[in-house]
Amino acid sequence: MAKLDLTTPVHTLAGVETDLTAHEGKVLLIVNTASKCGLTPHFEGLQALHSSYAEQGLAVLGFPCNQFGKQDPGTNEEIGAFCEKNYGVSFPMHAKIEVNGDNTHPLFVQLKAGAKGTLGNRIKWNFTKFLVAKDGTILKRYAPTTEPGAIEADIQAALKA
């Protein structure tokens, strides 16, 4: 099984370059998000998972993407304010990225290679979710329409492993 390289550079919503090594040893739920999508209410379920399991070692990580129907056109600052105001998001959100095509962010290159979906190596839509084990193994990909609560049993299993 493929492992995620936590040293892959990412940027915070504030534009600061960092990586995911701060989450080493945690179970990760990595999601490409959008603020103006029919699935945007998934933020509520993602926040609920974060609230329930962060202390046990879960890190929910959001990566806004404007590639699907131009459903996240705002600036990183606007995206952060929207998520906090409308859904109380307190899990880490990152700078807007691309998840398909020539400019696919290296993090999503790894995730897609480690857990193929119905479109193979492509992301189908906003709110595709990836579950990563404590050791970095990419465990599973979930469809955009999969409600965050439906992933809870898999998260619990990964936290116990």
Packing angle of the helix pair 42-53, 76-87 (nearest 10 deg): 80
Look up residue 159 and give its two tokens. 């936290």
Whether the CB-CB separation of 84 and 47 falls below 8 Å is answered with no
| Residue 137 Cα distances to 1, 26, 29, 103, 140, angstroms | 6, 11, 12, 24, 9
Of the residues 37, 39, 99, 133, only one is catalytic, namely 37
- Known catalytic residue: 65? no
Q: Which residues are catalytic?
A: 37
